[in-house]
């Protein structure tokens, strides 16, 4: 830059200094202490049901096992839990009565696999891993995903349990569902008005850092209860429901998937961590992005992000209160933390 006078030069440099000062304070905010980093290995996952899931992952991590194996084993726990109506078998069905499952997995090398709208197969996370390891593809959906699973030794399983069917029939009465009537907006009732909100949706998103310092993540769900048939949320979408970058960290999400997809939420969290944000600050900024774009709608819905960085520091943030996450490392295997929230 050319300065025509000394005065002009001084003016420009003092402006530069004040910009620098602003930048410094922004940087300090981002670098504010996060949760202390316990030595790896460590595994974190969404919601209270993350505790038993983490414990399964911990069996592998504590013996020097690979983060990828740990997150798969961990995610399988809520998938198999018949009392869990938002993940795997016993998940609530869509509005037509079909249980359709979404899942994805990502390893330390950036490999990933995903399945969406998968029916009759009880461990979608393991099918996602096979897509990653046995095919040149990333994502299989619907019939094709089921066919692939059956060809690879999975058994057809009835996913709709009596409890889930009962809940669906109750919902049908209230929704007065007819195929011609659009009831999708019922999915987005204000969080505090949803009957048994915790059970209507909730995904397990899990991120692990193993003893070798490698990261992996898994995300699995039955999605929004009573969703439109064919609806796929954020959970199986790499970058939305889950993202891992072995140089930086990993992130996962839960809540209204459409808003997470629109903002490529988990990728955003990881990219913010790359810029120096702590895991919690990165999750908070991603939540704020959603709120800023649609303030009125954001007040009514829940989205939560959870992140772990390469140093083993973790953090979370949600639009609404009530989002919990589970942490497991050498000092404590069943830590449950309530995330901070915007409202
Ligand atoms: N994110 C999931 C979905 O939109 C649901 C949830 O985690 O609550 O399908």
| Residue 202's pLDDT band (cuts 50, 70, 90) | confident
* Cβ proximity of 92 and 101 under 8 Å: no
Token pair for 267: 């990728």
Residue 233 CA, ligand 1 centroid: distance in Å: 6
End-to-end CA distance of the chain: 46
220 lines ligand 1 (CB under 6 A): no
Q: What is the pLDDT of residues 248-289, one digit of tens each?
A: 999 999 999 999 999 999 999 999 999 999 999 999 999 999
Retrieve residue 335's tokens. Answer: 């830590």
Q: Judge whether 100 is annotated as a binding position.
A: no
255 annotated ligand binder: yes
Gyration radius of the chain's alpha carbons? 21
110 is in an annotated binding site: no
Q: What element of type H or E holds 324?
A: strand 324-329
- What is the reported pLDDT for 174? 81
For residues 234-257, give the mean pLDDT. 97
Confirm or reject: Cβ of 236 under 6 Å from ligand 1.
no
- C-beta of 203 in contact with ligand 1 (< 6 A): yes
The predicted structure's pLDDT at residue 36: 61
User: What domains, with CATH codes, occur in the chain?
Assistant: 39-341 (3.60.20.30)
Q: Is the CB of 252 under 6 A from ligand 1?
A: no
121/17: higher pLDDT: 121
Taking 90 as the threshold, does the pLDDT of residue 75 lie above it? yes
Specify the residue with its C-alpha closest to ligand 1, atom 4: 257
pLDDT score for 178: 64
> pLDDT tens-digit profile of 136-166?
999 999 999 999 999 999 999 999 999 999 9
Note if 203 is an active site residue: yes
pLDDT tens-digit series, residues 79-91 = 999 999 999 999 9
């Amino acid at each position: 830059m050319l300065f025509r006078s000394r005065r002009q030069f001084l003016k420009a440099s003092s402006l530069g200094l004040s910009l620098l000062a602003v930048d410094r304070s922004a940087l300090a905010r981002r670098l504010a202490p996060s949760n202390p980093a316990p030595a790896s290995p460590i595994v974190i996952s969404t919601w209270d049901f993350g505790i038993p899931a983490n414990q399964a992952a911990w069996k592998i991590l504590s013996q020097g096992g690979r983060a990828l194996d740990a997150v798969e084993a961990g995610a399988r726990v809520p998938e198999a839990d018949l009392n869990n109506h938002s993940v795997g078998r016993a998940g609530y069905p869509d509005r037509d009565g079909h249980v359709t499952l979404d899942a994805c997995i990502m390893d330390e090398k950036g490999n990933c696999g995903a399945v969406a709208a998968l029916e009759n197969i009880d461990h979608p996370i393991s099918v996602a891993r096979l897509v990653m390891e046995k095919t040149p593809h990333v994502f299989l959906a619907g019939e094709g995903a089921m066919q692939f699973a059956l060809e690879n030794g999975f058994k057809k399983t009835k996913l709709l349990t009596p409890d889930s069917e009962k809940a669906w029939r109750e919902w049908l009465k209230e929704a007065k569902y007819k195929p011609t009537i659009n009831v999708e907006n019922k999915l987005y009732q204000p969080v505090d008005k949803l009957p048994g909100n915790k059970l209507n949706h909730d995904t397990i998103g899990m991120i692990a850092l193993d003893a070798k310092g490698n990261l992996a993540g898994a995300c699995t769900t039955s999605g929004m209860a009573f969703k439109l048939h064919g609806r796929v949320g954020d959970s199986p979408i790499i970058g939305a429901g889950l993202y891992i970058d072995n140089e930086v960290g990993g992130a996962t999400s839960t809540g209204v998937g459409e808003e997470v997809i629109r903002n490529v939420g988990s990728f955003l969290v990881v990219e913010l961590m790359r810029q120096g944000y702590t895991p919690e600050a990165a999750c908070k900024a991603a939540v704020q992005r959603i709120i800023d774009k649609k303030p009125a709608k954001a007040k009514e819905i829940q989205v939560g992000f959870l992140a772990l960085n390469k140093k083993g520091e973790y953090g979370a943030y949600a639009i609404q209160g009530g989002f919990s996450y589970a942490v497991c490392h050498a000092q404590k295997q069943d830590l449950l933390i309530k995330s901070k929230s915007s409202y």
